[in-house]
Structure 1
Amino acid sequence: MVRTNVLKGFYEIEKTIGCGGFAKVKVATHVLTGEKVAIKIMEKKSLGEDLHRVTMEIQALKRLSHHHISKLYQVIETETHYFLIMEYCAGGELFDHIVSKDRLGEGESRSFFRQIVSAVAYLHQQGYVHRDLKPENILLDRDQVLKLIDFGLCAQPSGGMGDHLFTSCGSPTYAAPELVLGQKYLEVKEGFVNQNGKYDEPSWLSIDTRKLIRSMLQVDPKKRISINELLCHPWLMLGYGDPVISDSLYEFQEREDECLLIMSKAYDITPDQMWRRLCRWRYDYDTATYQLLRTRKKRGAPLKLSSTTTKSLFRSRI
C-alpha cells in the first residue's frame, strides 16, 4: 500500500495509468492550477540495489530540458518512497498508437521519427544515453507531440560519449546485438560481424524507407548510421527541407512575467522576489506550480490559481 499522505491537499490522485517492475504511475490533478500530471511512485525497499538508478534518473531529468522529453516538475522523497511529478501525456504510448492503426503511413512515421531523433541527439549532446528506447517509452501529448520518458536505465559515460559502456540492460527486442551479448557498446568481438542479422522487410515499405532501416540495423556498429548523420538524412528531410533540429525549443528556467505575477500575488511578494525564490530550482511545489502555469499560458488557457486552496497551500509547503 503506497502512502500518499504527503501528496494530500497538493495533488488529487486519480487512476493508475502504468505499472513497471519498480514503479507505479498515477494520473493526478495539481490542485492550484488544475493541470493534470503523472506521478511516478517508487518504493525504496523494492528498488534494492537499483536505488542508485533513481538518483541518476532524477539527476538526468533535472539537467534535461527539451520539447520531446517529458518534463520533471517536482521530486518528493520520504523514508519509504520517491514521488516524481512529471508532465502528463494524454495521448498514451506510441506503441498503442501504432497497434491501433495496424501500421503508420510514411508521412506520420517521418514526423514521429524526426521527433525521436531530435530527442536522442539532444540527449547525446548533453552526455546521456537512454538505453531503453522503445515505443512503450515514448508518449504522445494532447497535440500528438512525442515525449521520451523513463530514464531509469540512462547513463552518463564518465569519459564522454566516446567512452564504452558495459551493462547489458533494456529490452532485448529493441536493443543492439552487441548490447544483448553483453559486449562493450560500439565494439564487436571478432567473428560476430559474420552473423547475418537477417530481418523481414514488409513489401509495402518504400525503397528509401528500406535503405534508411538498413543503415540503422547494421550488425557491425562501425557501419551503423550515427545519430548526427540521421539529423540530415534525406528521408527525414523529405517534405520538410531542413535537417532535424536537436537544440531545445523549451527552456525550463526561462522567466515568464505573467506567471510570476500570478504566483507573487498569492505569496504577497513582488514578482522579482518570487523569481529569486524560484531560481533556487528545488523541484518543489513552487517549481511545479510555475511550470504548470507556463504550460497553461502556452496552451492559451486562463492564468489563474484555485482561489479556494491558494492561501492554505502557500502557507504549508511540501
Structure 2
Amino acid sequence: MAISVNKIVHIENYDILHTIGEGQFAKVKLTRHVLTKEVVAIKVIQKTNESSSSLKEWNQEVNRLKTVNHPNIVKLLEVIDTEEALFIGMEYISGGDLFTYLEAKGRVTEGEARGLFRQLLSALQHCHQRGVVHRDLKLGNLLLDANNNVKISDFGLSNQWHPQKKLDTFCGSPAFMAPELFLRMPYTGPEVDVWSLGVILYNMVTGSLPFRGQDFWELRQRVLRGQYHVPKSLSNEITDLLDRMLMLDPTNRSSLDDVWQHPWVNIGQEEPLPPACEEHPGMTGELILGW
C-alpha cells in the first residue's frame, strides 16, 4: 500500500517539522537534518498520484537545477528517489516571497528595487548562459533570505533553450506572461523572461501590476494592447527601462545584455554592470545524494 504524504514523519536523514507549502502536484515540508541540524525545505512528490509524463517533468526540473549554481538562485541540495515518492531537498529561505513583502510594504523605492533587480538580472543571466529559461518568473517565485537578498525558485516550468530553436509551450502565470505567449507564437525563451522581469520591476516600484483584468480574457486583451499607467513619481530612467522591457514586439524588446547596460540599473555604481560570465562550476557529488 502506498504511503500518504501527509503521514510521512521522517525522510531518510531528515525529521519533518511541518508543511510550509502545498501545490497542485507536491507538498513542501520543512525538515531538519538529523546529523547537521540544518533546516532544509523538501518538496515531496508522491508517485502514485503522478503520471509518467509528470514524473519526467519533475526529473527535468531537477536536472536543470543541477546546471545552475548562483547565490541568487535557491540551491538544490539533495534528491532522494524511492518507489513511492520523489524527495527534492532545497535550500530553505526564511524571509518569505516578494509578493508577501510587497503586500506588506505597498511598494519599494527605486533604490531598493535596483538592488533586488540587479540580483535578479545576475541570476537570470546565469540561467540563460547555461541554456535554461525559467518561464514562470513572478513575485511568488522570488524568495527573500534573512538579509533581504532575493533568490529565484520553482523551476517547474523551466526548459532548455537554443538560439536556433523555438519553444511553443503555453505556460506561466498570466499577469506575468509575455504577449507572444497569449498569441501562441513560437518563442526562443530569454525574451519571455525579460518581459516577466519588467512586470516584476513595475510591481516593485508601483505596488501594482501593469496589466490587470477581471478574467483571463480581459487580462489578455490589455497585455496585447501593451498600454499601462506610468505614475508621475517614477523617474525618467526607470520609465525608459520599463518601456524597453515591456515592448510588445519581442524582436524589439531589450535583451538581458541591453538591460545590464541601462543607465537606471547602474545609477550609483562606479561602472556599468557587465554581463555575468563565468565557467560553470558544476555540481559536486557531495551535494546531490541518492540520485
Q: Into which bin does the TM-score normalised by the smaller protein fall?
A: 0.7 to 0.9
Per the alignment, in what secondary structure is the counterpart of residue 223 of structure 1?
coil
CA distance, structure 1, for counterparts of residue 136 and residue 230 of structure 2: 24
Q: What's the counterpart of residue 135 of structure 1?
A: 139
CA distance, structure 1, for counterparts of residue 280 and residue 34 of structure 2: 24
What is the aligned counterpart of 1:246 among 271, 276, 289? 276
2:284 matches 1:283: no
Q: Deviations over 1:189-219 (max 9, x none)?
A: xxx9xx5311122232111111111101111
Distance apart, 1:131 and its partner CA: 0.7
Distance apart, 1:238 and its partner CA: 0.7
What is the aligned counterpart of 2:95 among 84, 91, 95? 91
Distance apart, 1:282 and its partner CA: 7.0
- Does the 8 A contact of 1:13 with 1:26 survive in 2? yes
- Does the 8 A contact of 1:67 with 1:249 survive in 2? no
Distance apart, 1:15 and its partner CA: 2.1
What is the aligned counterpart of 1:172 among 167, 171, 174? 174
Q: Deviations over 1:292-318 (max 9, x none)?
A: xxxxxxxxxxxxxxxxxxxxxxxxxx9
- Does the 8 A contact of 1:164 with 1:186 survive in 2? yes
Letter in 2 for 1:284: L
Instruction: Map 1:217-296 to 2 at 5 A.
Output: 217-242=246-271, 243=273, 246-247=276-277, 251=281, 280-281=285-286, 283-284=288-289
- Does the 8 A contact of 1:94 with 1:138 survive in 2? yes
CA distance, structure 1, for counterparts of residue 253 and residue 125 of structure 2: 15
Instruction: Map 1:5-154 to 2 at 5 A.
Output: 7-8=11-12, 10-48=13-51, 49-154=53-158
CA distance, structure 2, for counterparts of residue 136 and residue 225 of structure 1: 24
- Identity value in percent: 40
Distance apart, 1:78 and its partner CA: 1.4
- Does the 8 A contact of 2:126 with 2:276 survive in 1? yes
Distance apart, 1:11 and its partner CA: 1.3
CA distance, structure 2, for counterparts of residue 104 and residue 162 of structure 1: 39
Q: What's the counterpart of residue 197 of structure 2?
A: none
Give the greater-gyration-radius structure (CA): 1
* TM-score between the two structures when normalised by the length of structure 1: 0.73
- Does the 8 A contact of 2:257 with 2:275 survive in 1? no
Listed as ranges, the gaps of 5+ residues in structure 1 are 254-278, 286-317
Q: Deviations over 1:171-198 (max 9, x none)?
A: 11101011122211159xxxx9xx5311
Letter in 2 for 1:126: R
* TM-score between the two structures when normalised by the length of structure 2: 0.80
What is the aligned counterpart of 2:244 among 215, 220, 224? 215
Distance apart, 1:34 and its partner CA: 1.6
Per the alignment, in what secondary structure is the counterpart of residue 60 of structure 1?
helix
CA distance, structure 2, for counterparts of residue 250 and residue 232 of structure 1: 23
Q: Deviations over 1:136-161 (max 9, x none)?
A: 1111111211111111111113xx23
Q: Deviations over 1:199-247 (max 9, x none)?
A: 1222321111111111011110011000111112111111123305524
Letter in 1 for 2:244: S
Listed as ranges, the gaps of 5+ residues in structure 2 are 190-220
Superposition CA RMSD, Å: 2.4
Q: What's the counterpart of residue 259 of structure 1?
A: none
